Amino acid sequence: MDISPPGRLAGPEEGISAQELALATRNHGLPLEALRYDVSPPGLHYVLVHYDIPATDPDAWRLTVGGRVLREVAFGMDELRARPAVTRRVTLECAGNGRARLLPRPVSQPWLVEAVGTADWTGVPLAALLSDTGAGEDAVEAVFTGTDHGVERGVEQDYRRSLPLATAADPARDVLVAYAMNGAPLPPQHGSPLRLVVPGWYGMAHVKWLHDITLTATPYTGFQQAVAYRLRQEPDDPGEAVTRIAPRALMIPPGFPDFMSRVRVVRPGPVPLAGRAWSGHGPVTRVEVSADDGTTWSDADVTRDPAHPWAWSAWRADWTAAPGPYRLTARATDAEGYVQPLTGPWNRGGFANNLVQHVEVYCAAEGEDLRPGGARDGA
Amino acid sequence: MDISPPGRLAGPEEGISAQELALATRNHGLPLEALRYDVSPPGLHYVLVHYDIPATDPDAWRLTVGGRVLREVAFGMDELRARPAVTRRVTLECAGNGRARLLPRPVSQPWLVEAVGTADWTGVPLAALLSDTGAGEDAVEAVFTGTDHGVERGVEQDYRRSLPLATAADPARDVLVAYAMNGAPLPPQHGSPLRLVVPGWYGMAHVKWLHDITLTATPYTGFQQAVAYRLRQEPDDPGEAVTRIAPRALMIPPGFPDFMSRVRVVRPGPVPLAGRAWSGHGPVTRVEVSADDGTTWSDADVTRDPAHPWAWSAWRADWTAAPGPYRLTARATDAEGYVQPLTGPWNRGGFANNLVQHVEVYCAAEGEDLRPGGARDGA
């Protein structure tokens, strides 16, 4: 029985394994047509749970804040809810989004492009909590601990991650200790009753089922910080930490799908294209679309909502389809000048792969035979 | 471009394909630890969408009832909500649950065992609606049409299924035209604003985004009735229709998981086992558990809630773990005498595969090395 295997890359001909499938059937992405909603409806926002969803009791929940603080504090949920609350609309993406499109494929949760969602998170600003506790002069990081418990590459652990204190304590970074999602208490899979929300950072930073915050005088070197979530080319590289979300544009797949192939069918004529784009480095300044797999590009109209700087922007473009096959693509550029790549940025963990999306589309006349060997193949 | 391929079986060494993965990342099962909840919380109930989740407008929604009726009728949502409502707790399971464990594997949505959920559905009894319209003397079936549109094996279609009129119009069968799930309006992926709920039947009968009911004088022979959802050994068999849910017991995986292998780790000593069991043929009368992969069995305590005859029952059993590997299993028997099989009932579509669940468990001492080649392998 192979209980806790090391990380590995799939073989060149290896399909998705039974273990990857077991992750894919329990975690889920945003069905891409749900990009139509400004805020992802309940149950459509992506979910990744490392271990099990813990059974938690909101009435008995305590958040402790300690370590290199001037005053240790602890809060029940009622005490947190009684504090001044803020709501922030945040687009959240899994750091492993795009992993299953890499070659060779890192074996883990096999996301294609859909591990994203946007929610209105309500909670207490972390900066305000840390202002209450104060920070010791030697404090450099805040370490966040959840109650989800498991083993990963041989290391038994509660899920735990850190942030630089400069990020955690900066009111402008809008880090939240959140107890509500879209106006309702957090659902179990999103961290009930309490989670961290770190706008602009990949999902691994947004610790769920949060019960402890500890300020430390040295950088945290636990599994999820120093072993996982590093950009590495070789197993022994120390690697670069995964932090902010790289820019990505996603298109609402136009037309209608085939159940099995997911190829899209559209009719000849105008086909409006639309989607969302986001970046953790700053506002998206440009979205381009291509109907010929990246040979030629045209600019989409991007609508940024200044009320929601941490949320995705909407984009629209016109396209006129003529009969035949197409591969549609969109790419985002952000204010820092980061542009989505046309070939994937490979690393051993399969993190931050913001390779452009490809949407296979066939423009068919009404009633055209869509079966293999149907009229479109001759006759 | 292979737009709309025929059904097929995976090759003997073929892993999950990119197309199956595209389905698995958008649809999702119930994370098995969520079997702890009597009613599946929002976002945890399984979801299968054949095509796209349609964009619908509840304010403009009309349900039409016609065909072989005595009086055609149409309802807006306010009119439906003004009628006497009933709420029924129903366990719903996808007919394809278990498909990915079959050999050879039918290529489609690759469920393992988790395509299930339980919800409180509120709506109008279909029998009451049909009592208003009356039924022509020659009416034999009711055909239900949703707005989700796509192509499947070359057939462009709106999703559509029928029920025998004797089932549809029988108040005791509790078929509902439902507009609420767990007290809230239906979420988009569960059929907003209106769906059918057919207690005891697999999910394909519960037509979502329901906008038309037509009584017919001949049995419906459309794609989802006569081509898909048939139990066939050979492609040319007419096959038997998939209807009611076969019995199944599922266990909440005990202990804690490895992230990647999903093997469960427990400590030596008493390990309570618990889960749910259900059948569309009648009450579950027995659940047995085995810690040695089906060699020996012991009876679990089954708690049936008479207030919710269409919902799963809870079960509990005691187990004492000693160090080493285990394969845990549970099996359900229902009042009609159907028993879960220990080897899978294979058919080309991979439907109604209620082969018993296998839960791989390793009982480890505190601190034991769980890596391959760790202390447990010798030393």
pLDDT band (50, 70, 90) for residue A22: very high
Quote the tokens at residue A277.
Answer: 């784009």
The distance in angstroms from the start CA to the end CA of chain B is 55
Q: Which residues of B touch A157 (CB under 8 A)?
A: none
Which residues contact residue A338 at a Cβ distance below 8 angstroms, ignoring those fewer than 6 apart? A246, A247, A279, A281
pLDDT value of residue A376: 60
pLDDT value of residue B219: 98
Q: Which residues of B touch A369 (CB under 8 A)?
A: 154
Quote the tokens at residue A223.
Answer: 């599994």
Mutate to test the interface with A, among B99, B111, B151 (most CBs of A within 10 A): B151
Phi, psi at residue B203, to the nearest 5°?
A: -60, -25
Which residues contact residue A236 at a Cβ distance below 8 angstroms, ignoring those fewer than 6 apart? none
CA distance B317 to A95: 39
Q: Which residues of A touch B24 (CB under 8 A)?
A: 21, 24-25
Q: Is A230 in contact with A239 (CB distance < 8 Å)?
A: yes
- Contact across the interface for B22 and A362, Cβ inside 8 Å: no
Tell me the average pLDDT of chain B. 96
Query: Rounded to a whole number, what is the distance in Å from the CA of A314 to chain B's nearest CA?
Result: 17
pLDDT digits (tens, 9 = 90+) for B81-137: 999 999 999 999 999 999 999 999 999 999 999 999 999 999 999 999 999 999 999
Peptide bond just before B54 cis, omega within 30 deg: no
Q: Is B52 in contact with A35 (CB distance < 8 Å)?
A: no
Query: Rounded to a whole number, what is the distance in Å from the CA of B270 to chain A's nearest CA?
Result: 19
Q: Is B21 in contact with A18 (CB distance < 8 Å)?
A: no
Q: Which residues of A touch B151 (CB under 8 A)?
A: 256-259, 265, 370
CA distance A167 to B68: 67
Peptide bond just before B193 cis, omega within 30 deg: yes
- Contact across the interface for B20 and A19, Cβ inside 8 Å: no
pLDDT digits (tens, 9 = 90+) for A225-276: 999 999 999 999 999 999 999 999 999 999 999 999 999 999 999 999 999 9
CA distance B62 to A95: 42
pLDDT value of residue A374: 75
Query: Residue A26: which of B22, B29, B55 has the nearest Cβ?
Result: B29
Query: Residue A22: which of B112, B364, B371 has the nearest Cβ?
Result: B112
Query: Rounded to a whole number, what is the distance in Å from the CA of A175 to chain B's nearest CA?
Result: 25
CA distance B337 to A181: 45
Q: Which residues of A touch B51 (CB under 8 A)?
A: 256-257, 259
Quote the tokens at residue B44.
Answer: 């945890």
B164 forms beta bridges with B141
pLDDT value of residue A379: 38
C-alpha dihedral sign at B190, B195, B197, B202: negative
- Contact across the interface for B256 and A152, Cβ inside 8 Å: no
Chain A residue nearest residue B111, CA to CA: A25
Q: Which residues of A touch B31 (CB under 8 A)?
A: 26, 49, 52-53, 189
Could you give the 3-state DSSP secondary structure of residue A288?
A: strand
Quote the tokens at residue B315.
Answer: 């079960």
Q: Which of A90, A48, A70 is nearest to A169 (CA)?
A: A70
Q: What is the mean pLDDT of residues A17-30?
A: 96
- Report which of residues A333 and A366 the model is more confident about: A333
Could you give the 3-state DSSP secondary structure of residue B243?
A: coil
Q: Which of B267, B325, B363, B257 is nearest to A151 (CA)?
A: B257
Q: Which residues of A touch B147 (CB under 8 A)?
A: none
Which residues contact residue B61 at a Cβ distance below 8 angstroms, ignoring those fewer than 6 apart? B76, B77, B193, B194, B211
- Contact across the interface for B187 and A42, Cβ inside 8 Å: yes
* pLDDT(B275) > 90: yes
Q: Which residues of A touch B111 (CB under 8 A)?
A: 25
Quote the tokens at residue A168.
Answer: 């955690």
Peptide bond just before A193 cis, omega within 30 deg: yes
Quote the tokens at residue A188.
Answer: 């179990």
Query: Residue B370: which of A21, A32, A154 has the nearest Cβ?
Result: A154
- Contact across the interface for B21 and A112, Cβ inside 8 Å: yes
pLDDT band (50, 70, 90) for residue B377: low
Query: Residue A14: which of B4, B15, B149 has the nearest Cβ?
Result: B15
CA distance A104 to A98: 13
Q: Is B50 in contact with B159 (CB distance < 8 Å)?
A: yes
ipTM, two decimals: 0.96
pLDDT band (50, 70, 90) for residue B365: very high
What burial letters (b/e) apply to B14-44, b meaning 16+ CB within 10 Å?
ebbbebbbbbbbbbbbbbbbbbebebbbbbb
In the block, residue with structure tokens 């197993």? A235
The string of DSSP codes covering A109-144 is S---S--EEEEEEEEEEHHHHHHHH---TT--EEEE
Tell me the average pLDDT of chain A. 96
| Percentage of the residues of chain A whose pLDDT score is greater than 90 | 95
- Contact across the interface for A25 and B111, Cβ inside 8 Å: yes
Query: Rounded to a whole number, what is the distance in Å from the CA of B136 to chain A's nearest CA?
Result: 33
Could you give the 3-state DSSP secondary structure of residue B171?
A: helix
> Residue B66: is it exposed, middle or buried by C-beta count within 10 angstroms (0-12/13-18/19+)?
middle
Q: Is B203 in contact with B93 (CB distance < 8 Å)?
A: yes
**How many CB pairs (< 8 A) connect A and B?**
248
Q: Is A276 in contact with A315 (CB distance < 8 Å)?
A: yes
Q: Which residues of B touch A37 (CB under 8 A)?
A: 188
CA distance A215 to B369: 30
Query: Rounded to whole angstroms, what are the CA distances from A18 to A107, A351, B197?
Result: 11, 21, 32
- Contact across the interface for B150 and A23, Cβ inside 8 Å: no
Chain B residue nearest residue A16, CA to CA: B16
pLDDT value of residue B33: 98
Provide the pairing of β-strand A210-216 with A62-67.
parallel
Q: What is the mean pLDDT of residues A166-175?
A: 98
Could you give the 3-state DSSP secondary structure of residue A45?
A: coil
pLDDT value of residue B378: 44
| Segment holding A77, helix H or strand E | helix A77-82
pLDDT digits (tens, 9 = 90+) for A35-48: 999 999 999 999 99
pLDDT digits (tens, 9 = 90+) for A141-167: 999 999 999 999 999 999 999 999 999
- Contact across the interface for A149 and B258, Cβ inside 8 Å: no
* pLDDT(A136) > 90: yes
The distance in angstroms from the start CA to the end CA of chain A is 55
CA distance A45 to A28: 8
Q: Which residues of A touch B15 (CB under 8 A)?
A: 14-17
pLDDT digits (tens, 9 = 90+) for B27-81: 999 999 999 999 999 999 999 999 999 999 999 999 999 999 999 999 999 999 9
| Percentage of the residues of chain A whose pLDDT score is greater than 70 | 99
Phi, psi at residue A260, to the nearest 5°?
A: -90, -45
* pLDDT(A130) > 60: yes
Peptide bond just before B247 cis, omega within 30 deg: no
pLDDT digits (tens, 9 = 90+) for B213-242: 999 999 999 999 999 999 999 999 999 999
Chain B residue nearest residue A184, CA to CA: B42
- Contact across the interface for A370 and B154, Cβ inside 8 Å: yes
Q: How many helices (H) and strands (E) does chain A have?
A: 4, 24
Q: What is the mean pLDDT of residues A186-206?
A: 98
Chain A residue nearest residue B108, CA to CA: A260
Could you give the 3-state DSSP secondary structure of residue B302?
A: strand
pLDDT digits (tens, 9 = 90+) for B284-331: 999 999 999 899 999 999 999 999 999 999 999 999 999 999 999 999
CA distance B285 to B335: 6
Q: Is A43 in contact with A28 (CB distance < 8 Å)?
A: no
Q: Is A74 in contact with A65 (CB distance < 8 Å)?
A: yes
Could you give the 3-state DSSP secondary structure of residue A208?
A: coil
- Contact across the interface for B33 and A53, Cβ inside 8 Å: yes
- Contact across the interface for B25 and A112, Cβ inside 8 Å: yes
* pLDDT(A116) > 70: yes
- Contact across the interface for B28 and A25, Cβ inside 8 Å: yes
Q: What is the mean pLDDT of residues B246-256?
A: 98
Q: Which residues of A touch B29 (CB under 8 A)?
A: 25-26
pLDDT value of residue B374: 76
Phi, psi at residue B188, to the nearest 5°?
A: -50, -45
- Contact across the interface for B189 and A265, Cβ inside 8 Å: no
CA distance A137 to A28: 42
Q: Is B279 in contact with B287 (CB distance < 8 Å)?
A: no
Provide the pairing of β-strand A357-363 with A264-266.
parallel
DSSP 8-state secondary structure symbol assigned to residue B50: S
Query: Residue B256: which of A16, A49, A51 has the nearest Cβ?
Result: A51
- Contact across the interface for A52 and B42, Cβ inside 8 Å: no
The overall pTM is greater than 0.90? yes
Quote the tokens at residue B99.
Answer: 């498909």
Q: Is B230 in contact with B240 (CB distance < 8 Å)?
A: yes
pLDDT band (50, 70, 90) for residue A377: low
* pLDDT(A378) > 60: no
Mutate to test the interface with A, among B4, B16, B19 (most CBs of A within 10 A): B4
Q: Is A209 in contact with A190 (CB distance < 8 Å)?
A: no
CA distance B29 to B338: 24
* pLDDT(A3) > 80: yes
For the beta carbon of residue B339, count every other beta carbon within 10 angstroms: 15
Q: Is A90 in contact with A73 (CB distance < 8 Å)?
A: no
In the block, residue with structure tokens 């945003």? A30
CA distance A43 to B189: 8
Q: Which residues of B touch A208 (CB under 8 A)?
A: none
pLDDT value of residue A94: 98
Q: Is A252 in contact with B145 (CB distance < 8 Å)?
A: no
